[in-house]
Amino acid sequence: MTADIKSRFPDGVKWRKQLNVEQQRLPYSAAAASVISRSDAHEAYSEVSSWAEYQQTPLHRLDKLEQVLGCGAIYYKDESSRFGLGSFKALGGAYAVLKYVAAEYRKQHSAEVALGDIRQGSIKDFASSLTVVTATDGNHGRSVAWGAKNAGCPCRIYIHAEVSRGRAEAMASLGAEVIRIDGDYDESVKLCAKEAQENGWQMISDTSYEGYTEIPSNVMAGYTVLATEAIDQMDQPPTHVFLQAGVGGLAGAIAARLWMEYGADRPSIVIVESEYSDCVLQSFVQQSPATVEITEETVMAGLSCGEMSLLAWQILSDCCDQVMTISDDQVATAMKLFAEGEMSDQPIEAGECGVPGILALMASAGAAQYELSNARVLVLGCEGATDAQIYQRLLDSVA
């Protein structure tokens, strides 16, 4: 088996860009806590874990890959089954929709309403008067559509030209109106924001910017549920964590939760991006949230984001230790190895955005700054086959 992994990557796995960040090991910072506090994370876990469909997602031990890399332990948090939506995004958008409805009810009625009561339809007439919108590559929109359905809100989803038909249909099946544009992701975000402002709709996004932070903060709080579960599932704290990044919302949320749990003893945080959309790496280069032009779309659709989240920067700028970019070249091969049970003792459904952390770890093995023999590595398998046709096509592309 170990020979099979090596034969699939005869030239090894290589990163395209790498940036080491000198960071002090400090307690959880005030800047990070202003984005996601301990109480925010606790509230999100309490709410999400009360949903009827809730189950902890698996934390797989990749024992076969450990043998290849000479690593102490590799843990893969498998989000392919999350709420039947196939990705971690189910945690953020749906939670943020409920928080928005509760906040609007409080504002308009000077009264509190529990999120559970919203889900039970106790204010369905009020909820039906609120329209939520978002722009997406697929997974986030599906979560917002599901959250809107649970809350009883109308929902509009804006998608760009490269979003697959299968992902569009999945959102429409949840009752959302799907609007496709000719441009890229960032252009869909701009149109969504423009029409939301013109029509009094509420944008639900994990992309934050000046004047728009409360809802993205709630989305990120929802994401921390994933990390809370992993902390509970691991016998010992991780020493390294590899976090894929688009706008940085997931990476910031997971880093924040691990940092607040372990403080100055937090794991090393490694961010992984597509070489085509390296806004996090460029943010560290210029020491402020960066925007990059996307001239080519990556197969890792959820990472195709050119503008870094302001809130994610507030967290990652103080705790990220390294940023790496990878190419599309070996994504399908890694997916195939998961599907064939060559990474662990069972097959795992890993989508395009589920494998960047593994590829970055494999690229790092043997590097001077990585001593893996005693490492406990946490990697996020953030999605499964969110589009069955694309997933199969990628598997079939590997000999």
The set of catalytic residues is 89, 137
Tell me which DSSP letter residue 87 carries.
B
Instruction: Spell out the long-range contacts of 20-26 with Cβ–Cβ below 8 A and sequence spacing 24 or more.
Output: 20/321, 20/322, 20/369, 21/284, 21/320, 21/321, 21/322, 21/323, 23/318, 23/319, 23/320, 23/321, 25/264, 25/265, 25/266, 26/264, 26/318
Phi, psi of 96 (to 5 degrees): -65, -35
Measure Cα distances from 374 to 50, 110, 236 in Å. Answer: 37, 55, 12
Structure tokens at 274: 């597509």
Gap between the Cα atoms of 276 and 301, Å rounded: 11
Alpha helix stretches (DSSP H) within the chain: 2-8, 30-33, 38-48, 63-69, 93-109, 115-119, 124-127, 139-151, 165-172, 185-199, 214-233, 249-262, 279-286, 310-319, 331-339, 356-364, 388-396
Render 281-336 in DSSP notation, one character per residue. HHHHHHTS--B----S--SSGGG---B--HHHHHHHHHH--EEEEE-STTHHHHHH
Angle, helix 310-319 to helix 214-233, in steps of 10 degrees: 40
